[in-house]
Amino acid sequence: MKKHNFSAGPCILPQDVLEKASQSILNFNNDNLSLIEISHRSQPFINVMERAQTLVKELLEIPKGYSVLFLQGGASMQFLMVTLNLMKLNGKATYINTGAWAKKAITEAEKIGETIILADSSDKNYTYIPKEYKIPRDVDYFHCTSNNTIYGTQIKKFPECPTLLTCDMSSDIFSRKIDVKKFDLIYAGAQKNMGPAGTTLVIVKDNILGKTGRNIPTMLDYNTHINKQSMFNTPPVFPIYVSMLTLEWLKDLGGVDIIEKENQKKAKLLYDEIDRNPLFQGTAEKEDRSNMNVCFLLTENKYQEKFDEMCHQTGITGIKGHRSVGGYRASIYNAMPIESIEILIKLMKKIEKL
């Protein structure tokens, strides 16, 4: 039975990428060596790292003056690294709290220095993106989370920022066009639209670093990794290679412009059915709905067991909603084919007629 993987992450990857990655485990570059046993200092892997970085720059149209890093520790490590590298001694930073991951980022920043929460959507269980806030000039940076996987909300328009603009784009990086030059630092865990868990993409403007007056631990200093081309310590070779393959797949499709249109089409199909079908109800405010994570509820709980069984029998997996929201969450990242969404919609129509 074909599986339709709606998991929020680790997520679906293109079949072609999985096949190439599988082959690399057995025989990489026809050298009769596995990718995961070659030296990260060898030229074959240096080529992988350089190719991955080049693809990031091409696909996101990154201007000169930015470094592209592949690090470890996930977005959770970046919650701390952003603060250590950008918040001055006796300085302060601003955040908006739009969900669980934004809250975790705030928690880490509060351990380092003064952290101001400019806006907070927890009053309505994070079902909307706050918009009525003003970013002060006398802060070291502003931080936001572009897409909230748990609650199914997404920032559609980023604020004008008089200070450094930083963003966690873990769950929608490469899914839509962004103007990188408006941002000073972007970070994203790989396991949504790039590859398997294990590496984290960081895009940072070089001239904002080294100005905090802090004695930053070596491993947590962005300049350490810039100077060593993301190889200060042994990098996560396999996740970086799979990320490279996924970025090549995206480039071959036509790039971010093309995938953004596909993602909009997929999301509209599913949201239209949720809004049409009286048995289902979306959880996020319509203007803030995510194109990556579609969260919805059954309006009548008596159908839950039947709908769950229908999903199981059809090969739909990973669709259970997060415990914070309940219901269902269909994560429709870049590699999700429209056919899988059509299968889900057929089930929604079918249960409506029972």
Q: Which residues are catalytic?
A: 101, 168, 192
CA angle at residue 249 from 247 to 251, to 5 degrees?
Answer: 70
| Cβ-based burial of 213 (10 A; exposed 0-12, middle 13-18, buried ≥19) | exposed
- CA nearest neighbour of 75 among 202, 194, 242, 203: 202
Handedness of CA 219, 97, 130, 87 (dihedral sign): negative
Place of tokens 């093309």: 258
CB 189 within 8 A of CB 74: yes
**Cα gap 44→121, rounded to integer Å:** 47
Residues forming a β-bridge with 117: 95
